[in-house]
Amino acid sequence: MKNIIIFASGSGSNAENIAQYFNNSSTIKVKAVFTNNKDAGVIKRMEKFNIPCVVFNRDEYKNETVFLKQINEFAPDLIVLAGFLWLIPAYLVNNFPKQIINIHPALLPKFGGKGMYGMHVHEAVKRANETETGITIHYVNQNFDEGEIIFKANVALTNIETPETIAHKIHSLEMDNFPKIIEMLLLK
Cβ distance 110 to 135 under 8 Å? no
- Is pTM, for the whole model, over 0.75? yes
pLDDT tens digits, 140-152: 999 999 999 999 9
Domain count, the chain: 1
Cβ distance 141 to 147 under 8 Å? yes
Positions of the chain with pLDDT under 50: none
Q: How many CB atoms lie within 10 A of CB 184?
A: 11
Which residues are designated catalytic?
104
Q: What is the pLDDT of residue 188?
A: 83
The residue range of the domain holding 38 is 2-187
**CATH code for the domain of 169:** 3.40.50.170
CA dihedral 92, 98, 103, 108 (to 10 degrees): 110
